[in-house]
Amino acid sequence: MQETQSRYARRYDREFKENAVALVESGREIKEVARDLGISHWSLKNWCKLALSGKEQTQAGTLEAESSTQREIWRL
């Protein structure tokens, strides 16, 4: 489900996002799905908008792919 998690932000892989959107598309409320999955309803709403517009969900990067400088910038 979650690819990486830090104290400041969570990153979700494409499959997790697509599955969350599928739950909404099946008729469940965004806030209900977000609560059940432990995610922000704002994030889920954005993922649903992307899916509705036909755009592909973004793939979360991994910390291994980031340089130490990028990780420090992200942390700040």
pLDDT digits (tens, 9 = 90+) for 56-72: 777 665 545 566 676 66
Residue 57: phi and psi, rounded to 5, are -65, 145
Give the model's pLDDT for residue 59.
Answer: 66
Number of domain units in the chain: 1
Q: pLDDT tens-digit profile of 3-51?
A: 444 455 677 888 999 999 999 999 999 999 999 999 999 999 999 999 9
Cβ burial, residue 17 (10 Å; 0-12/13-18/19+): buried
Partners of 12 in beta bridges: 2
User: What's the domain range around 59?
Assistant: 2-75
Query: What integer best gives the mean pLDDT of the chain?
Result: 80
Per-residue tokens: 62: 């991994």
| CATH of residue 28 | 1.10.10.10
Give the model's pLDDT for residue 67.
Answer: 65
